[in-house]
Chain A
């Protein structure tokens, strides 16, 4: 490898002419050269702009595909902000004099106070007795069944059916709002888990009740600030290995509160026990530990019953069940069948008929939905029913004690029907739904209310009330069914359209990136022309004739036509150029490296069909990266030149070792338990860094600039702007980052006592300055930087043959060979600073390792002469995905590090806050995208023809890798849409893939391809075009 270029020139142009003619000719020549240069510059700028346009087209195809798929796939529900009010009952007349919370808002209340106990994962069959062949979980918790049988007027026990997903968070939302869970709830706040829509607790607060919460801290993220601070005790729900801490804590605090000297302090207690759930996760249900736990619950409940007074309602329920292994989250019968038991010291409950006095033997008989709890509790406690509720009052609670009180049942159902009908009206209005959707339920409603008016106005027979009650029930059932289908229906056509667009986009990319006959930029004008023509044609055709999918609205139809027409145009352009150039090659790999990249991509893509491979994606990527490292090592052994060989071997080993070291940084997802140990934070249930981890950014600040310098020195490129930017600015940025995280830890741990506000202000300024250095100063510097070369001029005589000539000038350009690579890397440095700042210290280490791995990859590619191969971009893509996990993320919503939005900001400010979270989440992928042009330029001759084309192809291959991963996750999510793990595994993975693809498209276009422009211009300013 020759790092320098030497130019020799005669000071007088090398021609023996008269001075006058010389000058003329020189001027003439300079004019010619400058004309050529001008032309070439315009040519470059034009093809660069067209290239950007081409990638924008790819981006819009991806966006279109994802849009169509998401439209059909993600079940969405609009969250209405309205709240029910005590003063405005949904059924206007008859309720005069009831409009205050002391006697009950919409209906006379039955109880003043309530103790609500949630036994997490209390499956229905845990509570009913079993005679022969019982399991450990049988016959341990007897009190519920016993009381329901012995005192049917004081207690009832029913199967309590959850709406999947059966995860505690979603269940608590359902149990308090009375609405169905969907994947995306529009209208929720930015960082938020807090429930904003109307709910039971909100109504309790509005009625002036004092709420106490004990147990699982999920309640606090859902209802921040709702509970009495002095009496409330929350416990971490994360540690599934601990069966007792939470339970003991709840019991310890709940019993004293029930003694009558404490009773005045609270109105509603919510106690959430986790022991049964944890015993299930840890041992499975059929285990002595489960029997012990259920027995413990039995004892506690008996104690609570003994202490209860007459005005207090006791509710015990499971929020979901558990499967045979003790896990939950899906929609299997065992997971959705929980138990509900209500108890009071006074006679308040009854049964609809005499057959149903004993509780059902299994959960298939007389099941009640979990959303029914909301209207039931609301009306029992005299509250308005929350606005978004879709549940119906549970009959047992309102039927009266002796003879069924059909009138009361009719009234409560009239109230809840009225509330549901209000909700239905405003939801349809907000969503623009036409009346047809609810036609059947509207008919039922009108009929029920008509009969109800008659029944109320004229004194009719008890039997009539029963008929009206059943009409209301029918109406509520039908409405619920309609909403369920509205929110749980996949639009398969739209999903298929989305997948089709993504598929053809991947084909276009594959053809462009890997077909050997096409050189990067030459045919782009033809492609764009045809694509544009056909896009417009497609859009017009689809918009007017609606041939593709008649069910679509106008705008969607146009978009679909636009996308598909464009692809057709690309196909036409390819056929045209193909005929003209008589080439005939398809994007099929021709070398071991090519095949390796195909195998890596396809194996990974196939793996997403399985939940195990999706869960363990990080380990699988490590295996692929190591395989690449070993193959690179073997290939390096083949190199004949000793220096190339040793460089290749050393870099391959470095690559392997760094991959393995990075793999030690892990943040485990729930499903990886117990075979995974989180190391990202101080411990597996904290989200702060350990003190030793603070040394990582410091270590990086010292070593990373040195290591990068070593790579520059090899090609003598540590010259000019590189010295300032790598030796000083990068180091300064990294030091500031290290200081920031130390201050952050000081703030968290109170190291400096009460000077908190100063520390906080200082660290925020530091973070802002660092980001400014990276993005504002960094970009400016990069745009104006000269190439990283130094130019040495020396004179020498031309030797014996021309002793009378004046001395020739010898110009040596030191660092010539890596001119593009060394300058472009300055841009990467800017991103390194910013990305390391927004990562936690452990993640900073991962990004640092990633930077060195990228450099090692570049050297490996150079040593093994595979700069043009697909393997470089594919491995770079895999590196990005790998370090996504190593920076403390998982493909789950729960692993998003929301707090990164507050690194330089005190409050949420759009658009910066989401951008910071994106930088934090996808830092590794962003960095690899920015690094893509290096693959084509690192140590490549700067003046080689087609360099821009090579960069374009590398970028297209890189995007192709991510496009295929995204296509695979999309297809599998669609295919497995009824899979148990859809919400937990496949859906989040699809969302991650889609976000990454769109983000990388944009970064690739704006930063990488965009940044290349400045590189070419800067190099050309020195050497000409």
Chain B
């Protein structure tokens, strides 16, 4: 052997201490539907309502996509808001529970078993008032709607463009599609998870446990992806169809 370095008598390859695990271990728990009978019923009615909205608007969607998508935003928002208010626990109430695992306080939210993680930093826990169960959820729902509409569509719009949506034409179509997908996929997330950084990292990692909210999000995304499949078959119908495929997908979840 012709060597530049004499054979080492000892070899040490210094390795930095790796984090104990290479990958993120999710701490979040599945989020159950509220145990009220109304919630249990509505959670099944909701996809049917979404589908009917799609069915009713489909002819005009094909003929004039932009006005239809624009005007559908309001009923879609109302549907999604009512779904959140009626069926899902807002983030604030669950955080209250998480803060004190031993808190067995009565109320509608007792459905959730004590959460093992103590990592979260808490603000003052809010208690759900048993007298006005809906009122206390309307504010977070509206907050989630605001957050969703302001943060999510630009991001999804960028992703759609990256996936090949036209760069110079059909911009309103694409943006409205992004808004629709946001309402379907992101609004419930904001509602149940709030703006907790750790939670959002888990969301970005797609590391949430399977529950109905997350299922809806994944279903919408897969639906939007699958909705792109027929595009080459008929390039004339622009990218508007996918959001509605997504609502179909949601039903199957």
A-to-B contact residues, CB < 8 Å: 1-2, 4-10, 13-14, 29-30, 33-34, 37-38, 610, 612-613, 615-616, 619-620, 622-623, 626-627, 629-630, 633-635, 637-641, 656-657, 659-660, 663-664, 675, 791, 811, 813, 816, 865, 941, 1020-1025
Contact = CB atoms under 8 A, between A and B. Distances in A.
A8 B10 contact: yes
Nearest to B206: A634
B2 A8 contact: no
Given A639-B24, A811-B5, A620 B232 contact: yes
Greatest chain A CB density within 10 A among B14, B15, B225, B232 is at B232
B2 A1021 contact: yes
Contacts of A641: 18-19, 22
Contacts of A627: 163, 225
Interface in B3-56: 3-16, 18-19, 21-24
B11 A663 contact: no
B173 to A, nearest CB: 14
A640 B22 CA distance: 6
Contact of B163 (A9, A38, A622): A622
B159 interface: yes
Contacts of A1024: 1, 3, 7
A660 B10 contact: no
A660 B22 contact: no
A544 B159 CA distance: 62
B4 A1022 contact: yes
Nearest to A635: B205
B16 A2 contact: yes
9 contacts: A5-B14, A8-B12, A612-B233, A619-B164, A637-B24, A657-B162, A1020-B1, A1024-B1, A1024-B3
Contacts of A10: 9
Contacts of A1021: 1-4
B126 interface: no
Given A8-B12, A634-B206, A641-B18, A1022 B3 contact: yes
B140 to A, nearest CB: 25
Contacts of B74: none
A638 B207 contact: yes
Interface string B190-206: 00000000000100111
Nearest to B207: A638
Given A5-B13, A619-B164, 9 more contacts: A1-B16, A6-B13, A619-B232, A623-B163, A626-B164, A638-B207, A639-B23, A640-B22, A1023-B5
A840 B249 CA distance: 45
B14 A811 contact: no
B235 interface: yes
Contacts of A811: 5, 8
B119 interface: no
Contacts of A640: 19, 21-24
A37 B3 CA distance: 11
Q: Which 4 residue pairs of A and B lie closest in terms of their CB atoms, listed nearest first?
A: A7-B8, A616-B232, A637-B205, A638-B205
B142 interface: no
Describe B's contact surface by its main secondary structure.
loop
A494 to B, nearest CB: 32
A660 B231 CA distance: 18
B161 A9 contact: no
B149 interface: no
A660 B161 contact: yes
A582 B150 CA distance: 59
A629 B163 CA distance: 10
A33 B1 contact: yes
Greatest chain B CB density within 10 A among A623, A791, A941, A1021 is at A623
A660 B164 CA distance: 7
A151 B16 CA distance: 99
A167 B94 CA distance: 69
A11 B61 CA distance: 81
B167 A612 contact: no
A37 B1 contact: yes
A657 B161 CA distance: 10
B214 to A, nearest CB: 13
Contacts of B18: 641
Contacts of A613: 232-233
Nearest to A15: B9
Given A623-B163, A639-B23, A656-B162, A612 B15 contact: no
Nearest to B14: A2
A630 B206 CA distance: 11
B154 to A, nearest CB: 15
B4 A622 contact: no
A610 B5 CA distance: 60
Contacts of A1020: 1
Interface in B56-77: none
Contacts of A675: 235-236
B13 A2 contact: yes
B143 interface: no
B251 interface: no
B3 to A, nearest CB: 7
Contacts of A9: 6, 8-10
Contacts of A629: 162
Contacts of B15: 2
A103 B124 CA distance: 111
A657 to B, nearest CB: 7
A30 B6 CA distance: 10
Given A623-B164, A626-B163, A865-B22, A5 B1 contact: no
Contacts of B11: 5, 7
Contacts of B147: none
Greatest chain A CB density within 10 A among B2, B12, B161, B162 is at B162
B248 interface: no
A714 to B, nearest CB: 15
B153 to A, nearest CB: 17
A622 B11 CA distance: 46
Given A5-B13, A9-B9, A664-B167, A638 B24 contact: yes
B138 interface: no
Contacts of A620: 232
B5 A1022 contact: yes
B79 interface: no
Nearest to A619: B164
B241 to A, nearest CB: 15
A1023 B11 CA distance: 11
A639 B5 contact: no
B8 to A, nearest CB: 4
B16 A660 contact: no
B191 to A, nearest CB: 22
Contacts of A6: 12-14
Contacts of B5: 7, 791, 811, 813, 1022-1023
Nearest to A617: B232
Nearest to B167: A664
Contacts of B232: 610, 612-613, 615-616, 619-620
Contacts of B207: 638
B2 A663 contact: no
A8 to B, nearest CB: 6
Contacts of A657: 162
B217 to A, nearest CB: 12
A813 B232 CA distance: 53
Contacts of A615: 232
A641 B21 CA distance: 9
Contacts of A634: 204-206
B162 A14 contact: no
A608 to B, nearest CB: 12
A30 B232 CA distance: 67
A633 B221 CA distance: 15
A190 to B, nearest CB: 34
A675 B233 CA distance: 12
A30 B167 CA distance: 66
A37 B206 CA distance: 49
A29 B206 CA distance: 55
A1 B231 CA distance: 43
Contacts of B2: 1021
